[in-house]
Each structure stands twice: as structure tokens, then as C-alpha cells.
């Protein structure tokens, strides 16, 4: 999955908290959010607020789907509210490879394996 495909997928599934999301989908969308919020913040505080609100729901949805891929409930996103420790735990889970087979959240993402996305055989 490339940058453009990840953004399209996440914006199309902006309210879909079910299913699974592979690492590239999550991290490409994270980079997109970072860039958009950085540029919007440089332009105006109002534009930053609008962009942050617009990207909140798709960001939460892809985060929940990413946690589903590693076998965790999407509710674990709330651990991010715990200062520092919660952020470290969420980063740890989001960098882990997804479960190879189907889990209680569904079949593995069909957008290619993480190794194929990274250009490895």
C-alpha cells in the first residue's frame, strides 16, 4: 500500500471501526495527518482546528482497525490518555506485525503483506 492508496482507504472508511488495517495503512495516514496539521497550523489557528476536527474520526477509525490487526480491541486507544506510558504502549502495538491468519476482528488486510509493501520478497 502506498501513501495515496492509504489516504484514500482511510478517508473512505472514516467511520468504519470494524475490520483490520495493516501497518502501512496506519503509518501512511499518520504521516498525512502530521503534514496536514503542520501546514494548517502554519497558515492559521482556525484552519488547524478545522483540519484537526476533520481528521479526528478517520484517525480514530484507522487506529482501532490497526489495533484489531494485532488482536487488541479498539477501546485500547483510550490508553493513550495516560500520559507518556499510554503513548509508548500504543506505539509499541502499532509497530507490531499483524496476526497472520484471521482473528476475531476478521481476515487479514487484503492490501498486501507488510513485507511486500516494504519491497522485500
pLDDT at 111: 59
CB neighbour list of residue 41: distance below 8 Å, 6 or more residues apart: 47, 48
Structurally, the chain folds into a number of domains equal to 1
pLDDT in tens, the chain (121 residues): 899 999 999 999 999 999 999 999 999 999 999 999 999 999 999 999 999 999 999 999 999 999 999 999 999 999 999 999 999 999 999 999 999 889 999 999 875 444 444 444 4
pLDDT at 116: 45
pLDDT at 1: 83
Q: Grid coordinates in use for 54?
A: 476533520
Q: Which residue in 16, 3, 34 sits closest to 105, CA to CA?
A: 16
Angle of the 3-12 helix axis to the 23-43 helix axis, nearest 10: 90
| CA atoms within 13 A of residue 67's CA, in its CB half-sphere | 19
Q: What span, in angstroms and rounded, lies between the C-alpha atoms of 65 and 74?
A: 7
Q: Hey, how many other C-beta atoms are within 10 angstroms of the C-beta on 87? A: 13
CA 16 from chain centre, in angstroms, equals: 12
pTM of the shown model: 0.85
57 is in which domain, residue-wise?
3-117
Note the pLDDT tens digit of each residue in 68-89.
999 999 999 999 999 999 999 9
Amino acid at each position: 500500500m502506498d501513501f495515496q492508496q492509504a489516504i484514500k482507504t482511510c478517508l473512505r472508511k472514516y467511520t468504519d471501526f470494524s475490520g483490520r488495517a495493516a501497518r502501512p495503512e496506519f503509518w501512511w495516514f499518520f504521516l498525512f495527518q502530521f503534514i496536514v496539521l503542520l501546514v494548517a497550523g502554519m497558515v492559521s489557528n482556525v484552519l488547524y482546528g478545522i483540519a484537526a476536527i476533520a481528521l479526528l474520526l478517520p484517525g480514530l477509525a484507522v487506529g482501532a482497525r490497526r489495533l484489531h490487526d494485532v488482536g487488541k480491541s479498539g477501546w485500547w486507544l483510550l490508553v493513550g490518555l495516560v500520559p507518556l506510558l499510554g503513548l509508548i504502549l500504543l506505539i509499541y502495538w502499532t509497530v507490531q506485525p499483524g496476526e497472520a491468519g484471521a482473528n476475531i476482528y476478521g481476515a487479514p488486510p487484503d492490501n498486501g503483506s507488510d513485507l511486500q509493501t516494504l519491497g522485500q520478497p
